[in-house]
Amino acid sequence: MSDMSAKPNLSAGVQTAGGVGTAPVSHTEHGDAHHDEHEHHDQHWLWKYVFSQDHKVIGKQFLITGIFWAIIGGTLSSLFRLQLGWPEGTMEWLTPVLGKWVEGGKLNPEFYLALVTMHGTIMVFFVLTAGLSGTFSNFLIPLQVGARDMASGFMNMLSYWFFFLSSLIMFFSLFLETGPAASGWTIYPPLSALPQAIPGSGMGMTMWLVSMVFFIVSQLLGGVNYVTTVINLRTRGMSMSKLPLTIWAFFLTAILGILSFPVLFSAALLLVFDRSFGTSFFLSDIYIAGQALPNQGGSPVLFQHLFWFLGHPEVYIVIMPAMGMVSEILATNARKPIFGYRAMIGSLIGISLLSFVVWAHHMFVTGMNPFLGSVFMFLTLIIAVPSGVKVFNWLATLWRGNIRFTTAMLFSIGFVSLFISGGLTGIILGNATLDIQMHNTYFVVAHFHLVMGSSAFFGLFAGVYHWFPKMFGRMMDEKLGYIHFWLTFAGVYLVFLPMHYIGIAGFPRRYYAWTGFDSFSQFADMNKFISVAAIIAFAAQFIFIFNFFYSIFRGRRATQNPWNSTTLEWTTPLVPGHGNWPGEIPAVYRWPYDYSKPGSETDFIPQNVPYSQTQSSNLPYEQELAD
């Protein structure tokens, strides 16, 4: 962390505006007068690094907490992959770690369910929501729109610490005597409501719900901040049509979160009532553990409606920030403008709107009225259109580019590949007729692990590799990055492509073993293969973790704009202090994708370079603005 305390070194490698004349705002000129206004030099370390209100520190806090959770989530998946790959094998050797959850050399089936439940919860919420959008929305929004900080630094700090509290509760629930929540990450009642049904629905579920309530509070505090910042704190000239696509993605993601997380909150609250105060929102006609329960009139399907009203937008909350970052990174490293900037924004808006009206495609076979099934099938399959537009635009961005394979670029290309592979099978699952057979099989597992799990992870990696120099003033090692990428990319496909075969054969998910069924006896070898691939792919992530932490302290010093990028964050000092720009905030004159513009000397023109300084490359309408 010694680096972060270093004063912004303005002279080191400053490369203002890439040689296209002088930037309108000279950083050194205004110098320290503004410095003191916006930076608090003698802050106690506690306020500087722990209870910081600086969006950059908060972003890093989210990232590091996210990495911690990703290791936990990955470890859990390795454990259940061991079970699925070798259902007859012994787990005796894991007794020192798992204790009583290994009985006579066998994994306890209830603990297996707890593993898949916690893997899902951790990955979806704690890693890919908080760790991805929490990190980059915080880190990039003020830097890219040209703001000193978030609209409310204090709320932003609270957002992290509510997340931290939520993490703490969830983490401790892993060590409960009765085990953590075990009714699937979707926590469908009555299973999640009745400790008689599964022990994980006792204290484990209570802690899950409490943790999730704090998590939702954290998301809302963050989301309100992101939206307010994007709307109100854009620098001079930064109109909405000049925003980088990252910001558009974060902005829409935050809106989705604000509108959908409260619904999960209500579902959680009603479930708490059912569990603890004897209400019957989701319970009816239940006879369990030798007893008929008094609850009548509730509907378990109602819970599913409430859950998926968040749950479906949630997958876009996970994937859209990745889409935004990938758009940015592809354009930068192909040295080409993103193709169809407005179409990209339009498709993001289209996806955001549609994401609210497709939730019941998770419920085609729950006994929901089939007419609703028809409507939701129609709306669901329409999402393929804006998603397709995005893919075609990314491909067109690469076309006739001049591609530099930075690690971030590799992960962005990987993202597009995985998004295509996973997205296309959504066309099968969104079809109510085909979903009758595919629902809750491994086909679904394969589908969403590619399209939202692995893709979003690739977006996260791309973002970390790309913005690491801005975060820590140092570079991550590229060779290690390449190895990390190729192992992960191959690993992901080796795990999830064969999983489709198993799904087509009808293997149900959340099964401890398939050995009891003759119908599901044919893929034992394939399951071993998947398990081996999964564990290797997980092990490869430690290359990243090593690279990340090593580079924070010992990585090579970065230059101010190592990727020759156009956006505003690269106009800040190498390691920006609180307040981001030591002098005035630069004004913005142009869109963020002026790469390889004909007539320009350099192959990029930063957003803060006015048209008057680029006479040779201006397009006719730009020339009018310059005069």
Partner 1 sequence: MSALTIVAVLVLLLVVFGLLFRLQILSSIFSGSFTRDIGMSNSVNAVLMLVFLVGGGGWFAYSFVENYSKMNPPIASVHGHHMETMFWTTMAVIGVAFAITQTLLFVYAYKYQYKEGRRAYFFSHNNKIEVIWTIIPAIVMAALIFAGWKAWTRITGPAPKDSVVVELMGKQFNWLVRYPGRDLKLGVINYRLIDASNDFGIDLNDQASQDDFTVTEIHVPKGHPVLFKIRSRDVLHAVYMPNFRVQMYAVPGMPTRFWFTPTTSTDEMRAKLGNPNFKYELACNQICGKSHYAMKATIVVDEPDDYQNWFASQKSFASQNPDLVASFKKKAIQDIAKPTAPAEPKEVAPVPLANASF
Q: Is 511 in the site for partner 1 (CB under 8 A)?
A: yes
588-617 binders of partner 1 (CB under 8 A):
593, 595-598, 603
Q: Is 237 in the site for partner 1 (CB under 8 A)?
A: no
The single residue among 20, 169, 220, 286 that binds partner 1, judged by CB under 8 A, is 286
The single residue among 96, 104, 516, 620 that binds partner 1, judged by CB under 8 A, is 516
Q: Is 123 in the site for partner 1 (CB under 8 A)?
A: no
DSSP per-residue letters across 286-310:
-EETTEE-S--S--HHHHHHHHHHH
Q: Is 517 in the site for partner 1 (CB under 8 A)?
A: yes
* Shortest separation between residue 510's beta carbon and partner 1, angstroms: 5
Judged by beta carbon, residue 132 or residue 605, the one nearer partner 1 is 605
Q: Hey, what long-range contacts does 556-561 have (CB within 8 A, 24 or more apart)?
A: 556/474, 556/475, 557/12, 557/473, 557/474, 557/475, 558/13, 558/469, 558/473, 558/474, 558/475, 559/12, 559/13, 559/15, 559/469, 560/12, 560/13, 560/14, 560/15, 561/15, 561/18
Q: Is 537 in the site for partner 1 (CB under 8 A)?
A: no
Residues 6 or more apart whose CB falls under 8 angstroms from that of 94 comprise 79, 102, 107
Nearest to 591 by CA among 321, 256, 344: 344
Rg over alpha carbons for the chain, rounded to the nearest Å, is: 25
Total Cβ atoms within 10 A of residue 361: 22
The single residue among 45, 154, 172, 405 that binds partner 1, judged by CB under 8 A, is 405
Q: Residue 99: left if φ>0, alpha if ψ -120 to 50, beta else—which one? A: left
Nearest to 190 by CA among 118, 198, 173, 312: 198
Q: Is 88 in the site for partner 1 (CB under 8 A)?
A: no
* Site map (CB under 8 A) of partner 1, residues 317-336, x = contact: -----------------xxx
Q: Is 259 in the site for partner 1 (CB under 8 A)?
A: no
Instruction: Write phi, then psi, for 513 (nearest 5 degrees).
Output: -160, 155
Q: Is 100 in the site for partner 1 (CB under 8 A)?
A: no
Find the part of the chain contacting partner 1 (CB under 8 A) among 55-63, 167-175, 206-214, 392-400.
392-400
* Site map (CB under 8 A) of partner 1, residues 180-219, x = contact: ---xx---x-xx--x--xx---------------------
Return the amino acid letter for 17.
A
The single residue among 102, 124, 416, 471 that binds partner 1, judged by CB under 8 A, is 416
User: DSSP 3-state assignment of 51?
Assistant: coil
What distance in Å separates the CA atoms of residue 35 and residue 72, rounded to the nearest whole number?
A: 41
Q: Is 21 in the site for partner 1 (CB under 8 A)?
A: no
Q: Is 31 in the site for partner 1 (CB under 8 A)?
A: no
428-487 binders of partner 1 (CB under 8 A):
428, 431-434, 436-437, 439-441, 475, 477-480, 482, 486
**How many amino acids of this chain bind partner 1 (CB under 8 A)?**
126
User: DSSP 3-state assignment of 556?
Assistant: strand
The single residue among 155, 504, 536, 545 that binds partner 1, judged by CB under 8 A, is 504
Q: Is 89 in the site for partner 1 (CB under 8 A)?
A: no
Judged by beta carbon, residue 117 or residue 173, the one nearer partner 1 is 117
